[in-house]
Amino acid sequence: MSAPRLADRDPRIEADELVNSLVPPPRFDDVRFDTYVPNPDEPSQAAAVTACAAFAKRVGGDSGGGWLGSLFGRKSVPEGKLGLYLDGGFGVGKTHLLASIWHAVPGPKAYGTFVELTNLAGVLGFGEAVRRLSEHRLLAIDEFELDDPGDTTLVSRMIKELTGAGVFVAATSNTLPDKLGEGRFAAQDFLREIQAMSARFDVVRVDGPDYRHRGLPDAPEPMTDDELAASAAATPGSTLDDFDALCARLARIHPSRYGRLVDGVAAVHLRGVRPASDQSVALRLVALGDRLYDRDVPVAVSGRPLSELFTDEMLRGGYRKKYLRAVSRLVALSRRQSG
């Protein structure tokens, strides 16, 4: 009997569940500030731990003032910037630090990826999404990016509303806040919105090499189709998909549901992997790779290696950092399955 296919799954998530599911992914359940190991050659990493811990203390320490007032229907807004923005390359532990902030802060609090946040606004409506999130002490946003003008306007408004209501916001990104959208759309047309949003954050830089690849080999060689099918059959809970068919299926599922798509999967097997055919396909593969990495799901492939998933032209374009992060994460997952 052949392994089931991801392409046959139909993940669903209701509106209330969207809000309740805004927590760190399973991979980051147990991370804390003291489990982050700074690279001794990169002093910015130790400094980032200190800055994040101080931010978490500030968020948690507000309970004696403004949050007491919320019991009587009014929450005062703390002074100073309410945002912390972790900027740096991929694989330096920014998500570890973001999740550590979330774990260190008392609730109510929410944690989601940028795409989950924009989808929440789409499902609930902007006003209702802001109303619900305004009840939180902290909103943590992972993979913060602006890929189109609509997102720029929406997120700028949302952060203005939330920080105005006294909600602290922590975010991670591979791009400085005043450079968001650069190289992807006419960012200069939205400069005022971008600058207004970035002014709400203190920026903390996290430098260093990608920890996932320190001293490790390149991507494993792809399996043959027969080897791939045998691996899927030998691993309970695995899925086996033709790469092109899965790409077509992803186009019909909102990226916010990709996590639900791979929940409970022990290993993903992709037959006939080749470079993404266009930018839309590539960005959906980035989102899928992120959700696989969040859940620590091993990946095995036939066809081309995962390091060749994106073309040279894509790697030179505006989404370069996203694609490099995806390669980093997927190659790490493919080593797990091959090992």
Q: What is the pLDDT of residues 120-151, one digit of tens each?
A: 888 889 999 999 999 999 999 988 776 566 77
User: Does residue 309 fall inside a structural domain?
Assistant: yes
Per-residue pLDDT at 254: 86
User: Does residue 167 fall inside a structural domain?
Assistant: yes
pLDDT tens, position by position, 232-264: 999 999 999 999 999 999 999 988 889 999 999
The domain in which residue 287 lies consists of 212-338
> Shortest CA distance to 75 belongs to which of 189, 163, 198, 175?
163
Q: Are residues 166 and 183 in the same domain?
A: yes
Q: Are residues 198 and 321 in the same domain?
A: no
Q: Are residues 248 and 277 in the same domain?
A: yes
Q: Are residues 161 and 235 in the same domain?
A: no
Question: Does the pLDDT at position 46 exceed 70?
Answer: yes
Of 140, 174, 209, the last residue of a domain is 209
Question: Does the pLDDT at position 293 exceed 60?
Answer: yes
The confidence band for 335, taking pLDDT boundaries of 50, 70 and 90, is: confident
pLDDT tens, position by position, 62-101: 543 444 444 444 456 677 789 998 888 777 899 999 999 9
* Angle, vertex CA 160, rays to CA 154 and CA 163, nearest 5: 130
The Cα 170–Cα 82 span in angstroms is: 8
pTM, two decimal places: 0.75
User: Does residue 13 fall inside a structural domain?
Assistant: no
Of 169, 190, 209, the last residue of a domain is 209
Q: Which residues are 173's β-sheet partners?
A: 87
Of 173, 188, 209, the last residue of a domain is 209
